[in-house]
Structure 1
């Protein structure tokens, strides 16, 4: 049975679809790996409330961040795949469009995870009806930069995006398809 699964996941005919699945997995894993320790430290250092409330907040922040990244990677990779299929090859604006749409749907909700620093630090007023458009344009630009001018992004962002969008295109066994990235 394991041989059948390995043969299936290594079939080039299914590679593009399976890279979307692995992208979802990488988004969920990376979101949890990044948010859990951050939420844990910040909650116990700066948040008041019962131990149970703090644990709930940590779990909720981690779940939200993990789900957001998993959804965004899935939408982005799916739209890149569909655009490539429709046109025959990847074109310059495809990454911007995929990032724009993913940013609108995933990061356009005005919540604590998405607004984070600028609003909480009062560096800017909380956007009302324009937040989804702002998120969409920012993510469209970021994804275009990642595909076409990667060196203009911070090295830590480049490494994160490498894991989410490019490393999810490679595997050769069920182990590094589901459990380990490489």
Structure 2
């Protein structure tokens, strides 16, 4: 055990061991995030036997965890390789290139887990990109930057839902259907107030 501890703390192996720890942390974080989400969504919305529900929860958790672990491994490996090829210095473009490769190979398959992760990231990226010009003092921040951003996002999603419904992500489309289209009709006080249909 002392030998393994000395190996783990040896600065000579630090860069390579960051890849191992990145994989570990990706898997752990993915499991922590996906398991409770899958559990709640399954309880609320899925039908079937307890066994099929449990399998679905475990499958979603495993996929999310392994995808984050694989991505971290690819990203950290490519960051290390690029740094070595660049004389031991990280260039500004390196994270972007490593992210593109990892994103393509790990999250390129169009499935529900990957869609949720990509949509989550996309929303955070767009929000961050809105802040970059202000932060870099390229433009002066108007008082209403965030309200304008919120207004444009809501305007776009409502237009897409109204005129290009099939392009909207299925779970968002379902919630919007419930709120905005199902509220257009009822046939009694019961279906107006207590029940949707």
| 1:11-160 correspondence runs (5 A) | 11-88=10-87, 89-116=89-116, 119-121=169-171
Tell me how far apart the structure 1 counterparts of residues 25 and 170 of structure 2 sit (CA, whole Å): 28
State the number of aligned residues.
121
CA RMSD of aligned residues (A): 1.2
> 1:16-62 CA deviation, whole Å, 9 max, x = no partner?
00010000000000000110011001101111111111000000000
Could you tell me which runs of 5 or more consecutive residues in structure 2 were left unpaired when the two chains were aligned.
117-167, 174-197
What is the TM-score with the length of structure 2 in the denominator? 0.60
The alpha carbon displacement at 1:115 in A equals: 1.5
Bigger radius of gyration, 1 or 2? 2
| Counterpart secondary structure, 1:121 | helix
Tell me how far apart the structure 2 counterparts of residues 5 and 100 of structure 1 sit (CA, whole Å): 34
Tell me how far apart the structure 2 counterparts of residues 94 and 22 of structure 1 sit (CA, whole Å): 20
Tell me how far apart the structure 2 counterparts of residues 47 and 121 of structure 1 sit (CA, whole Å): 13
Residues 1:33 and 1:122: Cα distance change in structure 2 (over 3 Å)? closer
What is the TM-score with the length of structure 1 in the denominator? 0.64
Tell me how far apart the structure 2 counterparts of residues 121 and 37 of structure 1 sit (CA, whole Å): 18
Tell me how far apart the structure 2 counterparts of residues 33 and 8 of structure 1 sit (CA, whole Å): 29
Could you tell me which runs of 5 or more consecutive residues in structure 1 were left unpaired when the two chains were aligned.
124-182
The alpha carbon displacement at 1:119 in A equals: 2.1
Tell me how far apart the structure 2 counterparts of residues 53 and 7 of structure 1 sit (CA, whole Å): 45
| Counterpart secondary structure, 1:48 | coil
Higher relative contact order (CA 8 A, sep 6+): 1
The alpha carbon displacement at 1:121 in A equals: 3.2
The alpha carbon displacement at 1:122 in A equals: 5.7
